A and B are shown apart, each in its own frame.
Chain A
Amino acid sequence: MKKILIVDDEPNIVMALEYTLKKNDFQVFIARNGEEAIAIAQDKIPDVVVLDIMMPKVDGFEVLNFIKKHKDLNKTKVIFLSAKNKEKDIQKGLDQGADQYLTKPFSMKKLLQEIDKQISGK
């Protein structure tokens, strides 16, 4: 079972994501902010991280940086899922090393496709 980490501070969004991913046979972990995300990622070594950018205290970019630097996490794929939808935001996200960038509001189907693509691309 592939492991997915959801990082978002909006409980309602997290709830919908968690339900859908579990239904599609993923093992789901949840972090409500950047700090939690780093702790859980180190511990659980997820295959994919669905990462929000704007969060209190530690933002999505810092989490991404951490993942990129951590040698245990070199196979972990990162998908940004953010309300920031400007061209320069997306470019920045990809430049920093994210594997995909999806903007909010998003389609669940599209997200699932992307996750599959990232996992099979291994």
Chain B
Amino acid sequence: MSNWFILAIILIYLGFLFVIAYWAERNKQSKWVNSPYIYALSLAVYCSAWTYYGSVGIAARSGVEFLAIYLGPIIAAPLWVIVMRKIIQLSKLYNVSSIADFISLRYGNNRSIGALVTIICAISVIPYISLQLKAISETFQIITSADQTSTEGFIFSDSTFYIAFILAVFASFFGTLSLDASKRRKGIMFSVAFESILKLGFFLAVGIYVTFFAFDGTQDIYNQANEQLDLAALSSVGGISGGLNWYFTIVLSFLAIFLLPRQFQVSVVEFSERTQLKKAIWVFPLYLLLFNVFVIFIAWGGMILLGNQNFNPDYYSLLIPLQNGQNWLAVLVFLGGFSAVISMVVVSTLALSTMLSNNLIIPYGFIKKFTKNQSVKNEKYIKNIRRVSIFSLILLAYLLYSFFDPNVSLFAIGLISFLIIAQLAPSFFLGMYWNRGSSLGAKTGMIAGLLICVYTYVLPFFATVIFNNPSFEDLGPWGIETFKPYQLFGLDVLNPTTHALFWSLLINTFLYAAVSVSFKGNYRERNYGEMFVNSEQVVAMKETAFVWKGEAYVADIQQLLIRFIGEHRAEKALRIFRKRYHVNPDEKLADARFINFAERLLTGAVGSASAKILIGNVAKEKPVSLIEVLQILEENKETISSNKALEAQSKKLMQLTDKLQLVNEELQLQDQLKDDFLDTVAHELKTPVTSIQASSEVLADGEDMPFALRKQFIENILNDTERLAILINDILDLEKLASGRVEIDFNVQNIVLTAQKAIKGVQNLANKKQVTIELKTKSDSIEAAYDHHKMMQVLTNLLSNALKFVDEKVGEIQLDISTQDGMLMLKLIDNGKGIPDEDLPHIFKKFYQSKNQNLKKQKGSGFGLAICKKIVELHNGNIYAEANLTKGACFIVELPKNSKT
């Protein structure tokens, strides 16, 4: 394809991006622009050309290793959300606009830390940008070289420069619309999200093409790869050493997802609402997974088809369609890669330029000048500093790119970038959770880590790859083995990258902690340390969290605000402040809250370090003791904890109320049961009494009554009297048992004898009804510990019940005694009319009456069963009636053989 054709496509595409970014800026309130998916997709700026092309390369060279870089973010997604919430909370509260600002703020608006972080970021990012430009130029070359008429490198190198230039225009135009660098850039983010979709879509397209069109599916690729390639080496992790390398690579990518300036920009600065994190937690890992689905197949496919032609495996995804004459697909792949480059370059330079201006150039060079200027002029100045920064960064990257050896792989340079940026990790992460971390510790750690990186990775890398001089790497400086850069102190199980990461992070963290513990930071650092560690409280306290003592005039600070954020915004901010804290507008002296409020406003515009300097210029600050710093947070902690205690108390009270209500209900129920009991007792007693009274009355009046009838009435009276006596005894028994006033007299004895005795007691009644009672037992002597009299009562009760319910002559009652698992089982089976199922749950209840109180209970099931139940329970046993019997009833008594224990 011709250069001009490809260039035209590139220009049309860039023009299109301009249009959608512009549209998004103009329609800031549109739901498309504010969708949480835009946020989630913009995180995919992580996938640069390094992913797009480099993954295939590394998969072809060393197999599954490429996955580690993507597994880190996927594995860490839940943790990412937790840490990110804290970072975002703090950043939004203090108008933080970059990672350098964030770290410098943590160490007390420290100017030098901000600058150091900026430099580290620049060292990390500029080569990374070069790498992206290299990818553009190389892919440009590949896609145009198919057309043999193309002239030598002149136009292509020129075109890369112009593309870089257009990207700089794009970034500077949309990146500096607002002075406040902590403001969101919706236009850029919208185009980044769009590009994320494009690059994934085109990469999947080429993956599907290679797998299913160039080959016959995954199985086909695998089979061919099996024949032609050394698959074992490509698909294994490679022992302990390989495992460690994997582990450290995952750690590296996990750190990068927080620390890379472009990631901080998209995930923190561009954050606006909670739903975004909820979407991001699944969309982003899913995105990374999709991106890696076809990598291995493209790599293998490329090796099978092109392995013998000495191509750079990084570009298999482009080369395969080109070789097969699928030029259009190749153009799409090229555009996908180009999208990856654009989003990475634009967001990175934007983030870096903010850092350069707010954390390096303004605080070190221009701050004095600004304090004298008018606001309009200042705004122009600051914006111009950022624009110039963007152009210089891209220019610098371009220059670096032109020195690159074309044989250096994308992956190797990408790793250097990750390695260097990882040096921010201890100061960044520990600083958020450890209040003792000091600025000196942070600086020492970062510098030491950086030096170790340079020594163990960058120097030998340049020596070997760029200058082709491997002796340094092999022998160490001056031939000292201990200091071999790739095997420091004899550590030889790691590959160069992870080896460098291990040593640099170890020493970085150690120095950070050791220096922080040895030399305490000043009060300002401690104050911010406390605020970062206790971010939840600080968010609630806002301005009052920061301790400040000194003398300053509201008018001076107001003047300062006007100078940097404009008259209109300053007035508005002041109104909000006065309303929030009910401050009298006539108050002349500024308090700590106002100082803090103003500082935050300025941070967004000029960075935290400069904001501190600016405030310092107009306010006479007095040092604050550490005790005062801690006190204010303690006070807040106390309020919070006493609030919590109050909450707990009221919760407890509510639980108590609930409990009380339950007890009350229970008592009412008990009361009701007692009433019911008395009713039942009264009724049961009244029946024989009524009968006795009526019969006696009849007898008293009946002098002329025949003798037989008279005798019958007298017998009736006697029966009813006996019934009354039994009833009274039962009631008393039951009450005694229920109130626990009965002692059970445990004796080890033979239950068979007791059963025989009980049967003997009812034998007369049985004979009268011509009913048989059979005792079934395997042994004549079964010993158990129980109260003989009480158990007699139980058995007699059950037997009398059974006798009542069986029919005359055909009635059969069987008492079955057995043992089972240390339990005594007594079964009483009869063939009487049985128990209705609906009554089963109630027959043992003390004073159960069926729901309709006017329906009479079965005779004889009054108190007997309730007494049996009580007695059996006092023996730690169990009594129940079997359900679902078709005929008769079956009562079962289970007793522990030795129920005392």
Least distance between A16 CB and chain B CB atoms (Å): 4
Shortest distance from the beta carbon of A120 to any chain B beta carbon, whole Å: 22
A108 touches B691 (CB 8 A): no
For A104, list chain B residues within 8 Å (CB). Answer: 686-687, 689-690
- The segment out of B10-18, B618-626, B651-659, B713-721 that lies at the interface is B713-721
In the complex, whether B856 has a CB less than 8 A from a CB of chain A is yes
Give how many B residues have a beta carbon under 8 Å from the other chain's beta carbons: 26
Provide the residues of chain A in CB contact with B683, threshold 8 Å.
Answer: 54, 83-84
Inter-chain contact B852/A59, CB cutoff 8 Å: yes
Given that A16-B691, A59-B855 are known contacts, is A105 also in contact with B698, CB under 8 Å in the complex? Answer: no
Task: Verify B694–A17 contact, CB threshold 8 A.
Answer: yes
Asked if A66 is at the interface of the complex by the 8 Å CB criterion, the answer is no
A56–B839 alpha-carbon span in the complex (Å) = 14
State whether the Cβ of B664 lies closer than 8 Å to any Cβ in chain A.
no
Per-position contact with B for A1-35: 1 when CB-CB < 8 Å, else 0? 00000000110110111011001000000000000
Chain B residues with CB under 8 Å of A23's CB are: 702
Name the A residues within 8 Å of B694 (CB-CB).
12-13, 16-17, 105-106, 108
Can you list, as one digit per residue, whether each of B692-729 has a CB less than 8 Å from chain A (1) or not (0)?
01110110011000000100110010011000000000
Give residues 337-381 of B contacting A (CB, 8 Å). none
Cβ-defined partner of B854 (8 Å) among A9, A15, A19, A54: A54
Contact of A16 among B682, B713, B853, B855 (CB under 8 A): B713
Q: Which residue of B lies closest to A19 (CB)?
A: B698
Q: Is the CB of B682 within 8 A of A83?
A: yes
Known: A107-B697, A108-B697. A13 touches B690 (CB 8 A): yes
Whether B713 contacts A15 by the Cβ 8 Å rule is: yes
Within the complex, which residue of B690, B719, B854, B858 is in contact with A53, where a contact is CB–CB below 8 Å?
A: B854
Chain A residue with the shortest CB-CB distance to B693: A105
Cβ of A46 within 8 Å of any chain B Cβ, yes or no, is no
A71 at the interface (CB under 8 A from B): no
A59 contacts B720, CB within 8 Å?
no
The chain A residue with its CB closest to the CB of B682 is: A83
B850-864 contact mask (Cβ, 8 Å, vs A): 1 or 0: 001111101000000
Given known contacts A56-B855, A59-B855, is B716 in contact with A15 (CB within 8 Å)?
A: yes
Interface contacts (Cβ under 8 Å), in number, total 77
| A57 within 8 A of partner (CB) | yes
Shortest CB–CB separation between residue A13 and chain B, in angstroms?
Answer: 5
CB distance from B531 to the nearest CB of A (A): 72
Within 8 A of B (CB), among A71-117: 83-84, 104-109
| B854 touching A105, Cβ below 8 Å | no
A83–B691 Cα gap in the complex (Å)?
A: 11
Q: A83 and B698: CB pair below 8 A?
A: no
Chain A's closest residue to B685 (CB) is A83
Q: Is the CB of B855 within 8 A of A105?
A: no
CA distance A9 to B694 in the complex (A): 15
B residues 422-465 in Cβ contact with A at 8 Å: none
CA gap between A105 and B694 in the complex, in Å:
8
The answer to whether A60 and B691 have CB atoms under 8 Å apart is no
Given A15-B712, A16-B713, A108-B698, the answer on whether A54 and B855 have CB atoms closer than 8 Å is: yes
**Smallest Cβ distance from A108 to chain B, in angstroms?**
5
- Chain B residue nearest to A109 (CB atoms) is B697
* A40 contacts B by Cβ under 8 Å: no
Q: Which residues of B contact A13 (CB under 8 A)?
A: 687, 690-691, 694
A residues near B709, Cβ cutoff 8 Å: 19
Q: Which residues of chain B have C-beta atoms less than 8 A from A9's C-beta?
A: 856
Asked if A38 is an interface residue, CB under 8 A from chain B, the answer is no
A-side contacts of B691, CB under 8 Å: 10, 12-13, 16
List residues 618-654 of chain B with CB under 8 A from any CB of chain A. Answer: none
From residue 44 to 94 of chain B, which have CB atoms closer than 8 A to chain A? none
8 shortest A-B CB distances, which residue pairs? A16-B694, A59-B854, A12-B691, A83-B686, A104-B690, A105-B690, A12-B716, A105-B693
- Can you report 19 A-B residue pairs in the complex whose CB atoms are below 8 A from each other? A9-B856, A10-B687, A12-B716, A13-B687, A13-B690, A19-B698, A23-B702, A53-B854, A55-B854, A55-B855, A56-B856, A56-B858, A59-B854, A84-B683, A104-B686, A105-B689, A105-B693, A106-B690, A108-B697
Name A's B-contacting residues (CB within 8 A). Answer: 9-10, 12-13, 15-17, 19-20, 23, 53-57, 59-61, 83-84, 104-109
